[in-house]
Structure 1
Amino acid sequence: MDEEQTICPWCHTEIRWDEELGPEQHCPHCGNELSGYRTLKLGLDDEDEEEVEEVEEEVDWEEEKSYRTQREAVLGDVSELRQYSRDRLALDETMERILDDQLEAPECPSCQEYMLDIGTNDVTSDQFTPRIPEALQAPLLSPPFKVVMYVCPSCFHSVNRLSPQDQERLVRSLAKAAADNQ
């Protein structure tokens, strides 16, 4: 008996079914469902295509003109949209200049835009109590240290990251602890 074959509608990979296991429920390549649950099938014959063309030709242009007039009334003056576009371009240009000056530009975890460095926070012993891991018997990082704060200009999500100098200090501390345990 020949193995049945199907083509995944998502990744267009040919899938061969195993006689013993039967048909696959999910594509082994992309993981999407193979059943018709999420598949839309259109049965366009030559006749149907002609009907579609006839319907397109029958569009009432007066109705279309009325729709555009209503849309402009709701949106207001179209020149406002052009002004917004100029402002948005200027904003994007300013953000690019700021990002070019930054040492790091992490991506926002929410929307993947580049985040802007808005400053550092100096953490002192009054503001921070270090945790002392049992395995090390010493803090991973002792105050004072600096934390760089980033904010996303699109969704305003903020992220804190150790300053580059304190990142190196933390790595040295971990390396020293590893050497001491050997």
Structure 2
Amino acid sequence: MSQQNSQVCPWCQMEITWDEELGPEPNCPHCFNELSDYRTISIPTKRDAAIAFDEEQDDDWYRYSRAAEKYLDAQDDVPECPQCQEYMVLAGETTVEAGAFAQRPALAPLPPFLTAPFRLDVFVCSHCFTVQQRLSQKDRAAIVRRLGEEQDD
């Protein structure tokens, strides 16, 4: 009976099991990268050595990050940025007045989906500074209530 050996692919970290009689795989069956030593370097490290990449405490980005974390901690709703998946800070609210909003015509017999004035929550990504707007919680509840009442009639 042949013995099975295994190794871990340095590229995708998947375990590869191979038969001792056939020898090791030349390519990873998961990511198809070469498994030879040609493109792999090994860096010996001491197990008890702590590697720390601390930010400078007087760095502007460090101070900004700590302040942004405080804003995020104070929020009930913390959406993720659509660009970088970091958390977004609720920066404020903007009101859309009737003259600045062209609503879609209502579908008979329903009322218009959204009518002005309404408020938008403005979120700013704490990492890449992408800005995103979302209908305020109060106005979301008003739409649900208004359209739900129309369906009851």
TM-score, normalising length: structure 1: 0.53
Q: 3-state DSSP class of the match of 1:126?
A: helix
Matches within 5 A, 1:18-167: 34=29, 38-42=32-36, 83=56, 86-167=59-140
Q: Distance in 1 between matches of 2:62 and 2:79?
A: 22
- Superposed CA offset, 1:1-47 (max 9, x none): xxxxxxxx765599xxxxxxxxxxxxxxxxxx948x82212279xxx
Query: Contact (CA 8 Å) 2:110, 2:150: kept in 1 or not?
Result: no
2:98 is paired with a residue whose SS is coil
Contact in 2 for aligned 1:115/1:151 (Cα 8 Å):
yes
Q: Gaps spanning 5+ residues in structure 2: where? A: 1-8, 18-27, 45-53
SS in 2 for 1:156: coil
Unaligned ranges ≥5, structure 1: 1-8, 15-32, 45-51, 57-80
Q: RMSD across aligned C-alpha pairs, in angstroms?
A: 3.4
More helix, by proportion: 1
Q: Give the aligned length.
A: 119
On the 8 A contact 1:140/1:173 being kept in 2, the answer is no
1:92 to 1:136, Cα distance in 2 relative to 1, 3 A: farther
Deviation for aligned residue 1:132: 2.7
Alpha-carbon deviation of 1:176? 2.1
Does 1 or 2 have the higher relative contact order (CA < 8 Å, sep 6+)?
2
Which residue identity does 2:33 align to in structure 1?
T
Q: Greater strand percent: which structure?
A: 2
Contact 1:107 1:115 in 2 (8 A): yes
Q: Computing the radius of gyration over CA atoms, which structure comes out larger, 1 or 2?
A: 1
Q: What's the secondary structure of 2:90's corresponding residue? A: strand
